[in-house]
Amino acid sequence: MYALMISIVTLFLCYNTLNATEKGTTIYHASNTIEGTLLYRERMILPAGSSVVITLEDLPYTDTPSTIIATKTFNAPKASPIAFSLTYDRNAIEPGRRYTLQAVVVHKGNTLFHSVSHEDPFHTPLTILLKRSSQKQQKPHIADIHWKLLRIENVAIASSEKLQDPNFILKKGNTVLGFTGCNRFVGTYTLQDEHIRFSQISATPMQCSKTMETEQAFKHVLQQARHYRVRDNILELFDDTNVIASFRAVHF
């Protein structure tokens, strides 16, 4: 009898282990909302107009850019602690992949605080320690750089050996030049702190059946862009709250 009970318990444990392995990361998904608190040790009041940016993204195993699953920007309180919540699409989480939650506090284009470790985002509530960024930090330089389009929202833009990749360059005199994947375009832009706006965009009138959907989405990104962030040669464009496109710097 004792041997039989041991066998039953062993089978039960083996089943649970296999079940957890098959489910992978999704085993933690009791909710599609991540909640937590951001803390910093310094006794300081955040400048008025500071913002908090929370980003859930995957951790790629190669040098490919990470995939942003969800992001949220909100007005920062006067000081630590900073409570946050982030809602994400559970269907975007793939078993076997690694995910992380990043947090930054920004003011007028400068990062005041940033998270220093890769937090497992699915064990909530989280407590994330922020590190004060260097006061010598300079505003990222984004002009006169070839920015290749990588993603629009969470949709990757496939590269082609035969076709030129969608891109844009911010030139002197507040002129933007680019290629949508079908047509070349020209327009104007303005930069102020971390804010960016595109206007007066005009393009050549070619019709390309294979790339028109990308072109329309790219034009919509330019219309909706309100501010930007640069991380590791990746330029992210935001609307009022979320990342709407990401680009990689290409140096010829």
pLDDT tens track for 151-208: 998 788 877 655 578 999 999 889 999 999 889 999 999 988 788 999 999 999 888 8
Comparing 23 with 167, which gets the higher pLDDT?
Answer: 167
pLDDT for 109-154, tens place per residue? 678 888 877 677 888 789 999 988 875 555 568 989 999 999 998 7
Contact between 129 and 39 under an 8 Å Cβ cutoff? The reply is yes
For residue 81, pLDDT over 50 is answered with yes
Q: Which residues contact 80 (CB under 8 A, 6 or more apart)?
A: 38, 39, 40, 130
pLDDT for 221-240, tens place per residue? 999 999 898 877 889 999 88
Distances from the Cα of 7 to the Cα of 2, 3, 14, 214, angstroms? 9, 6, 11, 58
The two structure tokens encoding residue 70 = 């969800």
Q: What's this model's pTM, rounded to 2 decimal places?
A: 0.53
Residue with tokens 């330089």: 141
* One-letter amino acid for residue 100 of the chain: T
Phi, psi angle pair for 82, to nearest 5°: -120, 110
Beta-carbon neighbour count of residue 36 at 10 Å?
A: 22
21 falls in which pLDDT band (50, 70, 90)? Answer: very low
